[in-house]
Amino acid sequence: MTWWKRSILFQSASIDKWLQWLLRAGAVMAALIMVLIMLFLLLESWPALQHIALIRFFTDETWHPLEDHYNLLPMVTGTLYASCGALFLAIPLGIASALFMAFYASPRMAILYRRLIELLAGIPSVVFGFWGLTTLVPMINQWQPPGASLLAAILILTLMILPTLALTSHAALTAVPGEYLRSAAALGLSRWGMIYGVVLPAARKGIVAGILLAAGRAIGETMAVLMVAGNVVQHADSLFAPIRTLTANIALEMAYAMSDHRAVLFVSGLLLLLLVMVLTSLAGWLGKEHHV
Amino acid sequence: MKPKSDMTDYLNDREVLNPAQPTCDKSNAYTLGPLQTGPYCCIPEPVIQVKDLSLFYGAKRALDKVTLAIYRGCITALIGPSGCGKTSFLSAINRLTDLIPDCRVEGAVQFEGNDIYDATCNVQQLRKQIGMVFQKPTPFPLSIQRNIALPLREHGITQRADIQVITEQVLRDVGLWDEVCDRLDAPALSLSGGQQQRLCIARALALDPQILLMDEPCSALDPIASSVVEDLINRLNGRYTIVIVTHNLAQARRIANYAAFFWVKERERIGHLVEFGHCRDIFETPTHPLTAAYVSGTRG
């Protein structure tokens, strides 16, 4: 072994060890926080899980926690409807804006547009809710009363997750190697042929990750939805029916909930966590490379 | 979608083109032994005429007034030191320069008598006829099959059966069929470097181009893969017109019919054409002292 190899080895061995411990500590901390939150949720919801059969959260007649009726299902569907509706609108819009930024806009226009989208991402959710309450809800009210509705929630959520989708998709699109673009052009592919055939498949993983992030935000969003959704606990039978989401439910009732009621709210927190977990695994599965 | 009869004609044409043309028998030209130069090429009929081509990146002139002709069915090698504009010249022939912001081209490039920089030129059609292979193998992150089907679909060949026929044909042409025929659905990126490069050549050939531009197709490959690709280029000789950029003088000497020697002026860093002629003449009886110095290895 030559002298320089040894000296590098010795030096880096001690630095390496430090770094290893530092990184390990960081990783353990992050994992621990997650585990502790889970434990906390479980602990707080334990009384409810003990007294109330799990099936009752889905089969009780209504949500009247003070009268011992704990049906969470309308809130679950409310959350799902609102999030899925928002994703349905925001995914095409977000990907379209990302494609525009990356391939169609002039460089100056693209920068301007990107700044705008970043600004949209930075607007606090309560401001969205505010705008929804004072503008969107009255508009829907004129068309289909009462106004505060599933539709309002979907539209507000769409606005909120659109920048997330656009920015993550744009990052994924610009990460596609330039060689692919040159090769595609050299094969005489049109711009759209290149985007559809090469760029989107290559950027697929990044885009799916962005959709996951957006879905997480849509499911977890509380304030803005609470302000526009009407918060009636019911299965929405139309887009114009008011709904209550799981998160809004927690925010609305936590202040006065006691004993079992309080514990059930924690159960709904667990349920939210479960939803997000299902979503994550779904995204992982979708993000795997499929070659057709 | 093309009418059926057209399609069959198209496929038949490919069949006819397939056997090596007797006028250009190069079966013994490739060897790892003593260097041989390719024979004088068959018909010196220009398919591309480049006149006074200058190329600018922004205000900087990268290539100065190049005039040369690319002859049909022959291999033309572009040689010269790095930065002398060989690759720029190559991408000016299929207008890939369009992709580079601030890149400007002066002069004329005539393909079959039509100026490709004319506003009426259909660039997609042009690039279909002038294929290109890059230094780094660039298969798309799709399956092997989709890599070839994608450009075919784009150019109007959408019948599954036609695509299959062409896929098999071009994969056979590049000697990849036996290696991948049982896993056409495998990701192209799972192939080795040499296989990837041959797939890229196959992908270009699938469009049945007249001309193949190759930008150092072997220099990112190991020696064995490189010799396989070189062998392949030799086999394509006569069927396609090939313009190849190479830093490997021995390779240029082995495979090329014509050679163009580019040089870069020291001060201004402007590339220009020094000498163009039969490969044998360039290597054995160069007229310009720079060429003589470069091919004998004393400069470069």
User: What's the pLDDT tens digit per position in A133-179?
Assistant: 999 999 999 988 888 899 999 999 999 999 999 999 999 999 999 89
Question: What are B's interface residues with A at a Cβ cutoff of 8 A?
Answer: 94, 96, 98-99, 101, 123-128, 131-132, 134, 136, 138, 140-143, 146, 150-151, 153-155, 185-187, 200, 203-204, 207
Please state the CATH superfamily assignment of the domain spanning residues B45-295 in this structure.
P-loop containing nucleotide triphosphate hydrolases (3.40.50.300)
> Contact, B204 vs B131, CB < 8 A?
yes
Alpha helices in chain B (DSSP H): 4-17, 86-93, 123-129, 144-154, 160-173, 177-180, 193-206, 223-236, 249-255, 279-284, 289-295
* Dihedral sign, Cα of residue B80, residue B129, residue B151, residue B125: positive
pLDDT digits (tens, 9 = 90+) for A39-69: 999 999 988 888 888 888 888 888 888 888 8
Q: Which residue has the tokens 């989208």?
A: A117
Interatomic CA distance for residues B175 and B204, integer angstroms:
14
Per-residue tens of pLDDT for chain A, all 292 residues: 455 555 555 566 788 889 999 999 999 999 999 999 999 999 999 888 888 888 888 888 888 888 888 888 999 999 999 999 999 999 999 999 999 999 999 989 999 999 999 999 999 989 999 999 999 999 999 988 888 899 999 999 999 999 999 999 999 999 999 899 999 999 989 999 999 999 999 998 889 989 988 998 899 988 899 999 988 888 888 889 999 999 999 999 988 988 888 999 999 999 999 888 888 888 778 766 554 3
Average pLDDT over residues B80-85: 84
- If DSSP codes are grouped into helix, strand and coil, which group holds residue A221? coil
According to CATH, the topology of domain A63-287 is: MetI-like fold (1.10.3720)
pLDDT digits (tens, 9 = 90+) for B241-263: 899 998 888 888 888 888 899 88
Interatomic CA distance for residues A288 and A189, integer angstroms:
26
Of B131, B154, B200, the CB nearest to A193: B154
Burial class (CB in 10 A: 0-12, 13-18, 19+), B285: exposed
pLDDT digits (tens, 9 = 90+) for B219-231: 888 888 888 888 8
Interatomic CA distance for residues A246 and A243, integer angstroms:
10
Structure tokens at B227: 């010799």
Burial class (CB in 10 A: 0-12, 13-18, 19+), B265: exposed
Write down the domain spans for chain A. Answer: 3-51, 63-287
Interface of A with B in 32-91 (CB under 8 A): none
B101 contacts on A by Cβ (under 8 Å)? 107
Q: Residue B222: which residues within 8 A CB-CB, separation 6 or more?
A: B193, B194
Interatomic CA distance for residues B166 and B157, integer angstroms:
10
Question: What percent of chain A stands above pLDDT 70?
Answer: 94
Min CA distance, B124 vs chain A (Å)? 4
CA distances for B125 relative to B129, B131, B154, B207, angstroms: 6, 11, 11, 10
> Contact, B140 vs B146, CB < 8 A?
yes
Interatomic CA distance for residues A119 and A97, integer angstroms:
14
Interatomic CA distance for residues A230 and A245, integer angstroms:
10
